Structure 1
């Protein structure tokens, strides 16, 4: 599960980006702009996965592991902005799936 420290660090990084957005554009990104950034990064990750599978050529300056972590970070940032307790929601989701699939703890 995500630790409180890890979530706090994600929030701190997002806050630093907010400060840059305000400095350079006079206002922070909207939630929709955050989501657009996530979808852009998902596109990069798609190409990196295809490259790893030998189905695409490597044209991005990114690494798959980095983009995967960045996408998780974006989801955490979006949950924070939407006032969603992602730790609790992950717990609820996993319990439901474990029950549905008969997974015993």
Structure 2
């Protein structure tokens, strides 16, 4: 079973905390949830281009890899869940269990 470990979540949040410190240092204010969401949507756009490039449907000019962008988007989702007081581990388990039951997948 795929799960998000507490260690992974803690590492994600520590990285985001370091970015917040840079935001305060350089802009005197940390990003809002809306700004975090904007950053996520930008990274999703980069991921879309990388997927299209992998399929031979686009040329990629970004310095990132598809694998990196997928991981970064997961990182953003974990960070946003934390800021919105959502227990991502619990919600993933609930989501997966509901889908398994709906689709008749036996564990």
Q: What residue number does 1:89 align with?
A: 91
TM-score of the two chains, using structure 1 as the length reference: 0.99
Secondary structure (helix, strand or coil) at the match of 1:78 reads helix
Q: Deviations over 1:46-67 (max 9, x none)?
A: 0000000000012111110000
TM-score of the two chains, using structure 2 as the length reference: 0.97
Secondary structure (helix, strand or coil) at the match of 1:16 reads helix
Q: What residue number does 2:72 align with?
A: 70
Q: Deviations over 1:11-49 (max 9, x none)?
A: 000000000000000010000000000000000000000
Equivalent-residue separation in structure 1 for 2:76 and 2:56 (angstroms)? 27
What residue ranges of structure 2 are gaps of 5+ in the alignment?
none
What residue ranges of structure 1 are gaps of 5+ in the alignment?
none
Match of 2:9 among 7, 10, 13: 7
RMSD between superposed Cα atoms in Å: 0.4
Equivalent-residue separation in structure 1 for 2:90 and 2:98 (angstroms)? 12
1:37 partnered with 2:39: yes
Deviation at 1:5? 0.4
Number of aligned residues: 105
Equivalent-residue separation in structure 2 for 1:99 and 1:59 (angstroms)? 42
Q: What residue number does 1:18 align with?
A: 20
